[in-house]
Amino acid sequence: MALAKIRNFIDNSLKTVSTPLDRTVNLEPEIGIRITHSPNDKTLNVTILGARHLPQNFGFTRVNSYIVKVKLIPGKDKFETTSRNESWPQWNEEFVFPLRKETKQKFGKSKVVEEEINGSRFIVATLYAILEDKPLIATEKKESEKTSPTKEAPKKGGKKKEGQSTSSDNQESTKNKLLSQFFGKNSDKLAESTATERRAYDKRRTVGATTIPLDPKNFVCKPSKSKHTTDVSTGDLWKPLRPIASGISGAEERKENKKGQVELSLCLSKGEKDEDSGGQLILSLNRLRCSLQTMHEHEGLKGQMYLKISVIDSGRITHFWKSDRFTPTVSMKFSPETARVVADNPYKGALNDVSFVVKFVSKNKMGKKIPVGHFVIGPDVGGAYGEQWKQALAKPGQQITKWQAFE
């Protein structure tokens, strides 16, 4: 009887909690934010409340802490929160964006007015995860073996070598002293600082971002603690974190893809005499957006990734561009001036046998190449790939920018 009662109690308790547990299985990462507009102070106060449902692991690496970067667009001011090593971090940190605009008047006088707040301006909050140095799986070597210095047997002529090493050390110290006298800083310290900054940047992983337009319709609340009666607030908003999107035209046409997408611009430069001949067809790369699933997969393989764009003319590669290797990331920018390939158009119909091949490749720690995805843009390709090609040829001199998904 006692066992039967215990079983009935366990079954009933599981039934009561099954519904809320199912609801929280697939919850997306969210960030809490509050925006207050103060017309008297001519400021915009942004408070980062916290975040929830954040990933605790990236591949085989734990997350050490989280930080949030806040930016007003358009604008140059941006701020970062302190790092929090909690699964549901709470910041409650406020950042002030000035909205002062100075206009010059007659006789050298100037007038300070408030910048207009409308839907064309918005706040962007980006959340980053900072990874730990140690992976989840322990390595074969122990930490003591790494840190303990290796002892070697004394060799002949050891005193002479020690004397030589001390003299070289003295020479290096004198050089460092001279550098510090002339430049004010030690070269070793500069190298160490840049190395630490680079390591700190490499540990960052983009979880996602949220965009809040500064539409006056969103400011419907009165802040609880306000300096002026005219202050208005959006209240506490909890927004989902999405992959970083672009503001270039054509970004709204992008489709979600498990492998990733790239933003490409295709432009046919006009010829000197005839629009159908001369000039060049230029394909440039703007951004990469990778899914969290793909990033976690290749993060676990300890691999690096790169993009390659090739020009295929009559079945052979005439020109290609390959990016530097980078760690798996959610979003990445490229310079269109350098990340580009060019196909010549010397005569009418020369582009009928030309196509562009875009590849997304991962290279693991052992040097093995793993294709993530690819696609082709050309005259005989259907779908969005062929549509971008047709629009570029139909509008010479105009850049056709679109998001294209890897297959």
Q: Which band of pLDDT confidence, cut at 50, 70 and 90, is reported for residue 402? A: very high
Task: Characterize the bridge pairing of strands 340-344 and 354-363.
Answer: unpaired
What secondary structure does DSSP assign to 134-187, as a single string? EESSPPSS-HHHHHSPPP----TTHHHHHHHHHHHHHHHHHHHHHHHHHHSS-H
Q: Which band of pLDDT confidence, cut at 50, 70 and 90, is reported for residue 14? A: very low
Q: What share of the chain is helix, strand, coil (3-state, %, to 5)?
A: 25, 40, 35
Please measure the distance between the N-terminal and C-terminal CA atoms of the chain and give it in whole angstroms: 60
Residue type, 245: A
Q: Which one is predicted more confidently, 100 or 360?
A: 360
Q: Which range (6-20, 180-194, 251-265, 332-346) has the least confidence?
A: 6-20
Residues 400 and 388: beta-carbon distance below 8 Å = yes
Residues 219 and 37: beta-carbon distance below 8 Å = yes
CA distances, 12 to each of 6, 7, 8, 247 (Å) = 10, 9, 6, 52
Residues of the chain with pLDDT > 70, as a percent, come to 67
Give me the mean pLDDT over the 96-107 stretch.
77
Give the separation between CA 120 and CA 117, rounded to whole angstroms.
Answer: 8
Beta partners for residue 237, in sequence order: 33
At 226, which helix (H) or strand (E)?
Answer: none
Angle, alpha carbons 393-396-397 (nearest 5°): 140
Q: Which range (26-30, 248-252, 315-319) has the least confidence?
A: 248-252
The 3-state DSSP class for residue 106 equals: helix
Q: Which band of pLDDT confidence, cut at 50, 70 and 90, is reported for residue 347? A: confident
- Complete domains list, the chain, with CATH: 30-136+204-240 (2.60.40.150), 251-405 (2.60.40.150)
Whole-number pLDDT of residue 10: 52
Beta partners for residue 90, in sequence order: 50
Q: Which band of pLDDT confidence, cut at 50, 70 and 90, is reported for residue 23? A: very low
Q: Which band of pLDDT confidence, cut at 50, 70 and 90, is reported for residue 44? A: very high
Whole-number pLDDT of residue 345: 82
> pTM of the predicted model, to two decimals?
0.49
Give the separation between CA 288 and CA 361, rounded to whole angstroms.
Answer: 13
